Copies of this chain bind each other. A is one copy, B any other.
Amino acid sequence: MYPIKFENLILAFQKLPGVGRKTAERYAYETLNWNKNKQEEFIQAIEVLKEGIERCETCGNLCEGRICTICEDKNRDTSLLCVVQSPKDIEVIESIQEYNGLYHVLNGLINTSKGIMPEDIRIEELIKRIESNQVDEVILALDPTLEGETTSMYIEKLVGEKAKVTRLAYGIPMGGHLDYTDTLTLLKAFQGRK
């Protein structure tokens, strides 16, 4: 039996995705043995969760201030809109330096079994953006999973008449996750979009 405070520390680490008891214990002992400075830095960085990290009012990307650097960039092609699930997908797509349009972060995918309905993700904002801006092409870059397909089909139906809708080519393995795709595969997927 560990002291309650240490047990709580272990349980906290166990909340992280994919972290079991053994790993959580390891994290707890490791952080406990750090020097004061390293512990202080760690705590400060984590405490940022309290205030939260700002989201871009336009696209939903993580940002500092109100509008993200991509939406503010005048050199971007505003007629292209790439729809992604999460800000981390923007990072991956940016890294291949192939796409020069704007993004729209849905913040999730439709998942009826988990009760995540179309109105729970940022689809309404997407429609408004398309209606009030000149968007020629909407690129759906969602995970090729059941939820991703459902969401893509849902958006396609809503947007199909307002703009051309394309999807990334299937170079991405089915059931995989976008942010674990290597950049060459992603590049091919981007070029072969249909």
B-binding residues in A (CB < 8 A): 1-6, 8-9, 11-12, 15-18, 22-23, 25-27, 29-32, 34, 38-50, 52-54, 62-64, 69, 86-88, 91, 179-180
Partner of A2 from the list B25, B46, B91 (CB cut-off 8 Å) is B91
Question: Given A15-B38, A22-B179, 4 more contacts at CB 8 Å?
Answer: A12-B46, A31-B46, A32-B53, A43-B46
B27 pairs with A16, CB closer than 8 A? yes
A2 to B86, CA, bound (A): 13
B39 pairs with A4, CB closer than 8 A? no
When distances are taken between beta carbons in the complex, the residues of chain B under 8 Å from A25 are 88, 179
B43 pairs with A49, CB closer than 8 A? yes
The SS class assigned to the A binding surface is helix
When distances are taken between beta carbons in the complex, the residues of chain B under 8 Å from A64 are 3-5
A31 pairs with B49, CB closer than 8 A? yes
**Which single residue of chain B is at the shortest CB-CB distance from A2?**
B62
Partner of A12 from the list B5, B12, B42, B87 (CB cut-off 8 Å) is B42
B86 pairs with A11, CB closer than 8 A? no
A85 CB to nearest chain B CB (Å): 11
A6 pairs with B49, CB closer than 8 A? no
A86 to B32, CA, bound (A): 12
Given contacts A27-B17, A63-B3, A88-B25, contact A11 B45 (CB under 8 A): yes
